[in-house]
Amino acid sequence: MRVMVTGAAGMLGRQVVQENIRRGNEVCGLSRQEFDISNREQVTTIIKKVKPEIVFNCAAYTNVDGAEEEKEKAFLVNGLGPRYLALACREQQSVLVHISTDYIFDGRADQPYQIYDKPCPINIYGSSKLFGEASVREIGGKFFIVRTSWLFGKGGKNFVNTILNLAQEKEELKVVNDQRGSPTYTIDLARALVDLATSKVYGTYHITNTGETTWYEFAKKIISAAGLKTLVNPCKTADFPRPAPRPAYSVLDPFPLRQVLGRDLPTWEDAVERYVKQKYSGGY
C-alpha cells in the first residue's frame, strides 16, 4: 500500500512514517520544507504524481502562543492546507487522515467531550484547527478527522522532555494543576492512526492514551518514572500567564474508537513509563 505523510519530520509525522514502514507499506514522507500544504499547486502536483492510497496529514502550525501574533500563518497551514489536501485526495480517490486537536473546545465541560459536541475554541490555534476540520468535511471524499491531545514522543519538543530537563537543573518545580487532559504517546497514536486508516469507517474520532490527568500530576509521574527526586508543586494557570488562553478541561471521549478498532489505547501512565524507559536506555 502506498501512503503519503505530510509533516514527516515532526514528532508525530516521523512516527507515522516508521509505523507504516514497519507494516511494509510504501511510504512517501515529506517534511515542511519539501511540501508546503498551503501551496495549492504543489499539493495538487505532488499528490497526482505520488498517487497515494492514504494521506496522513501531520503538517501543522503548532505554536499555540505564537499563533496569537501569526494568525494568518496559522490559518494558512492549519486551515487552508487541509482544504487543498482534501481537494487533491478527492480527485485521486485517496483516503485523507487529518490530525486535529482538543483545543477546538473551550474547556468549560465537566465530562469528556464527545466527537459531536459543539466546538468553541478560545485561542487562534484552536480556531485555525477548527477551520481545517470544517474544510475537510466540506470538501468530502473519504476522510478521517482525528483529534488528539498533549502529545509527547521522540524527535520533538514536548512536556515530558521539558520536565526531565528542568528536573536536572532544579530541586523544585511549579506546574499548573487546574488544566485537565489526556497525554498521548506518538507511538500509540501512530499505531491507532494506521489501523483506523484502513478500517473504512470514515468520520471523526478522538484518539488519546486512556485516562486523564493535570499537568501537575503528569509531571509527578514523569519524575517518578525517571527515578528522580525533584519536588513538584502545584500552582494555578493564573500564576503563569501565557499569550494564548488554554482550555481548563479538554479530555476527549474516545467513543466509538474501541468499537471500530477493537481495542483501547494503553493508559497514559503506561505510555509515560515506556517513553522514559526508552529515553534513559539510550533509545531516544
pLDDT for position 284: 66
Q: Are the C-beta atoms of 274 and 191 separated by less than 8 Å?
A: no
* Preceding peptide of 256 cis, ω within 30°: yes
Whether the predicted model's global pTM rises above the 0.75 cut? yes
* Backbone conformation region of residue 140, classed left if phi is above 0, alpha if psi is from -120 to 50, else beta: left
- Report the pLDDT value the prediction gives residue 199, as an integer from 0 to 100: 97
Q: Which residues of the chain have pLDDT under 70?
A: 282-284
- Give the burial string for 4-33 (b: 16+ CB within 10 Å, else e): bbbbbbbbbbbbbbbbbeeeebebbbbebe
Please state, in angstroms and rounded to a whole number, the distance separating the CA atoms of residues 140 and 89. Answer: 9
CA torsion sign, 28 to 205 to 39 to 45? positive
So what's the pLDDT on residue 49?
97
Q: Kindly report, residue by residue over 34-92, the tens digit of the pLDDT.
A: 999 999 999 999 999 999 999 999 999 999 999 999 999 999 999 999 999 999 999 99
Of the candidates 33, 149, 7, the one whose C-alpha atom is nearest the C-alpha of residue 85 is 7
pLDDT of residue 283: 63
Active-site amino acid positions: 125
Look up cell 494568525; give the residue.
Answer: 71
Please give the Cα distance from 1 to 249 (Å, whole number). 39
